Chain A
Amino acid sequence: MAWRRFRRNKSGLIGGAIVIFFILVALAGPYLVAYPPRSYQSLYEGDAGDPPSFKHPFGVEISGIDVFSETVDSTRNDLYVGLAATLITTLIGVAIGALAGYFKGAVSDILLGVTQMFFVIPVLLLILLFARVFSILVFKGLGLTLIVLILSFFGWSGIAFIVRGETLRLKEMEFVQAARSLGARPFRLLFRHIVPNILSPVIVIATLDIAGFILTEVVVSFLGFGDPNTSTWGLLLNEGFPYVRTTWWVALFPGLAVVFCVLGFNLMGDGLSDALNPRLRE
């Protein structure tokens, strides 16, 4: 039913197609490109700093990195950050939101307070600070997974809010009361009866969150707080920015990849939102 509605939504379909395209690029990446990740081989071929050509479709960095290979290789890593962080934050957000919405009293108040706190604080600054301190001094060698963990730590409040609101609404409804009068325990009620019924807003928010986490990772890497040994779009932009006056292609193409990937997830999220919440449609 939802699929039939989604299928009629043109922009949602375009978004889905873009997302599938990026997933395919991520999977087929190593077979599509001429150079391995973070390889300076073009330097030895005398192509360093070359503009886009047939051999190097997106041009070459001054340091000798082939931008096309690097952009393709980054797809896998950026999708990993977006998907992994979304998976973790969705689990945390659903758990905290459901508990805060279902129970009354001090614990629920504290959970709500913590959620509100994470919602209003300027998380990007803290993400940068955490990334800088932890990558250098505490957890060396975790690479992108460290970024995933930091993004997850700061990124769950949106989902928690939605889940809390929906739980508050659902817990007084007849089907929940019926299950309760049959003797279902609170946890069974929550995770067997309530949570399955709020999955559709969760799916929508999660899709949009993937886009958001990818954007945040790009910012983190662009500013030089990411993992310098893993190909990401943000790292390419970071390397390209100082030389942008001469080698504009290093900044243009990875940025376009970010825009279209994020656009794909955003369009798909909007499409899913229309398909799963038909109330909003005419």
Chain B
Amino acid sequence: MASLVRYVIRRVLFMIPVFLGVAILTFFVGNAAGNPIDLIRAGLRNPSPAVLKALQAYYHLDQPVWLRFLYWLWDLIHGNLGVSISGRPVLSQIGPWTFTTLELQVLSLVLAVAIGIPIGVFSAKHQYSKVDYTITTVAIFGYSMPTFWLGIMVIIVFSFYLGWFPSNGAVSVSYPWWGSWVLDPIAHLILPTAVLTYVSLATIVRLVRANMLEVLRQDYILAARASGLSERTVTYRYALRNAISPVVTIIGLGFGAALAGAPALETTFSWPGLGYAFTQAALALDIPLVQGITIVITIMVLVANLVTDLVYAVVDPRVTVQ
């Protein structure tokens, strides 16, 4: 137990330099985009000198850049992400986006794990069978596909051609889908969730299959079988427990990758989440907003990694011993 606590502390401490690294990269590159006041000014009609002066003071533009970074970091640590060039505070804009993004990501992840692990086990148990070939082929296609492109194809078929599901947004504007405002968000959720689930599923199936194949070949599996245990017990109790720990890591990393991939998928479905907002903000050079979204996603990824490490430590206690 003590080793587990020490392990957790070590992982949390590791997050600090990583967070700082991302903060430094986003701040200085964002800073290279130019003077934020010029960008704000483009949106104002005849700004008075007093307004400009206030903005200058707000962004500390009379200070050297490293001092500005410290100001920015200080605000960041205190939960102040600044004001986007549209004039609204970044944090209050980001809140709802975070929720819609997580709704899509978490649902897909849960589905991918729940479906992917049994499929991977089945595929490994029936190695080189027809079903196994089909599963691995379908999986490697998912692994080789740009997620957003699959999204476009799905929209063409199921939304434009068949007209079964909406093609964009998280809720309808005027008329609800399927004739009900309760069902409407579900109708919007189905296509993006299906696409993201399939792509995450592919990675999980591949990995579970490969690990199971390796574990099933071990002597202790033979011993377990020889002692008369049922095939089910051998597969799920003995083999899967040992095959699952690398999968836990990949699920954590995959969640991070999926979050980082959100800009493309959410743009395809006009899904009002962090990724779509990030794309729009970056194209408009709304640097405070871009920095804010990057920081929020980084925090979510780091927390996901921490949770993964914890689960890993519980599944495989050896990792807590250094």
Contact = CB atoms under 8 A, between A and B. Distances in A.
Interface in B279-306: 279, 282-283, 285, 290, 293-294, 297-298, 301-302, 305
Nearest to B157: A248
**Residues of B in contact with A, size category:** 35 or more
Interface string A182-224: 0000000000000000000000000000010001001100111
Interface residues of A, number: 45
Given A121-B21, A126-B26, A137-B32, A237 B140 contact: no
Nearest to A264: B144
Contacts of B221: none
A12 to B, nearest CB: 12
B156 A219 contact: no
B145 interface: yes
Contacts of A244: 152, 155-156, 160
A138 B32 CA distance: 8
B312 interface: no
B199 to A, nearest CB: 11
Interface string A123-143: 111101110111011100000
A124 B297 CA distance: 11
Contact of A124 (B140, B260, B293, B302): B260
Contacts of B34: 137
Given A255-B146, A259-B144, A124 B33 contact: no
Nearest to A270: B140
B111 interface: no
A122 B149 contact: no
Contacts of B268: 241
A259 B152 contact: no
Interface in A231-282: 237, 241, 244-245, 248, 251-252, 255, 258-259, 262-263, 266-267, 270, 280, 282
A132 B284 CA distance: 10
A228 interface: no
A121 B175 CA distance: 40
B143 interface: yes
A241 B267 CA distance: 10
Given A128-B279, A223-B264, A244-B156, A251 B149 contact: yes
Interface in B231-278: 253, 256-257, 259-261, 263-264, 267-268, 278
Given A258-B146, A263-B144, A251 B153 contact: yes
Interface stretch (A95-103, A112-120, A169-177): A112-120
B103 interface: no
B214 to A, nearest CB: 7
Nearest to B290: A129
A122 B263 contact: no
B156 A222 contact: no
Nearest to B22: A121
Given A120-B301, A244-B155, 16 more contacts: A120-B256, A122-B294, A124-B261, A125-B260, A125-B263, A134-B32, A215-B146, A219-B263, A219-B264, A225-B283, A252-B153, A258-B146, A259-B141, A259-B146, A266-B140, A270-B140
9 contacts: A117-B18, A120-B301, A121-B18, A122-B297, A124-B257, A124-B260, A126-B25, A132-B33, A251-B149
